[in-house]
Amino acid sequence: MDTSGDSVIVTSVGAITPWGLGLEALLDGLASEEELPSPAKCPKVDLGQYLPSEKTYLDRCSELALVAAALALREGGLLDENRLLRLPLSRREKGSGGEAAAGETPALADRIGLGLGTAYGCLDSMYANTQRVQTKGARLASPLLFMHSFVNAPASLIAIEWGIRAPGATFTDGGLSAASALYWACDLLRRGTVDAMLVGGVEALSEPLVRSMVGGRWPVEGSGGDRGLAACPIEAAAVFLLERAEFAHTRGASVLAELAAVSPPTALTKERQAEQRRAEHEVARLQEIEQAQQGVAALEGSVTASPSLAGQGWRAQRAPGESPYYAFGAQFALRVAVALGELRNQPAGAEVLVEEREGFRKAKALLRKP
């Protein structure tokens, strides 16, 4: 794990999940004994309460990402009364070449980067655009649908909405997508390329994705391609505001945690692969015994969801079937959000390790309470 350079601070989090908006809704939902329907979608939101501009069309994935980003920026104190990004230095105050004049602070939008992870992106718009071209021909293709169908459309819309001009990127790596985004964001911050980063993960339950499910469930892939018990798929978005410690201190930002270290998705060693296989097979064997004892038929592609994830930190180490919920590209970001919630009642110096595995690969993040 890379821990060099200036420390990286988490100053806010914006989240939208099937349980509602904000971190509290996520934590309360996980602690509740009420099970979600499968698959579970997020509640509808009046975008006019969160965005500075009106939207005529948005893919569901972009909508969730915009809401989560707005919540993170608002909680982080970076939005003004018109929901616009606070700009210490406007374009008119810049030199003729567009650069900041000597002794002046660069525009905030020039020093905030953006990293977003998603497994499938804007599938609804992509599918609609493809269907239109196939049925009506390329001449009648919709430019609007085409522009909104790219996997990086959510990140681009966030950048456009708040005029963010620092480096931005979208990462597509399954359930580890947000981990890749976090690793990249931390690297930019520690290098001093940016002062702050909006970074997280998002996934929408698009029509093509829902149609690919079995009985409303999503099989969780273990090591070696083994398929564990199916999880309840959910759509969600979680976006964090990360800042260099010096920058956060200068502007008097509240600190939720230090992102002490992040490792990118890496392959497990052969020994760990074998160990994981054995553990997964043992979990499956014990589940079959328990189901037989309870007289429950072990139907392929079905699962009885655990009523609560409270105290499990969204399962720091998840074998197939352990976690009742799976959020695809937003999975790792939700784990980090839950870890932030766990740290709130911990003493200074307490640490929470977040780990996500998918197949033979894993990613980790270490959060520390200052």
Give the predicted TM-score (pTM) of the model: 0.80
State the average pLDDT over residues 94-100. Answer: 44
Residue 209 pLDDT > 70: yes
Residue 246 amino acid letter: E
φ/ψ (deg, to 5) at 296: -100, 130
* pLDDT 10s digits, 236-288: 999 999 999 999 998 899 999 999 999 888 876 666 656 656 666 665 666 56
DSSP codes joined into one string, 175-233: BTHHHHHHHHHHHHHHHTS-SEEEEEEEE---HHHHHTSBTTBEEEE-GGG-EEEEEEE
C-alpha closest to that of 76 among 198, 158, 191, 245: 198
First-to-last alpha carbon distance for the chain, in angstroms, is 19
Ranges of each domain in the chain:
1-370
CATH number 3.40.47.10 is the correct assignment for the domain at 1-370 = yes
* Tokens (6 digits) for 132: 């239109």
pLDDT by residue (tens digit) across 317-368? 333 334 588 999 999 999 999 999 999 989 999 999 998 888 778 899 999 9
Rounded-to-integer distance, Cα 326 and Cα 309, Å: 12
Give the chain's radius of gyration (CA, Å): 21
Question: Residue 336's closest CA among 157, 151, 79, 68?
Answer: 68
Phi, psi of 103 (to 5 degrees): 85, -5
The enclosing H or E element of 67 equals helix 60-75
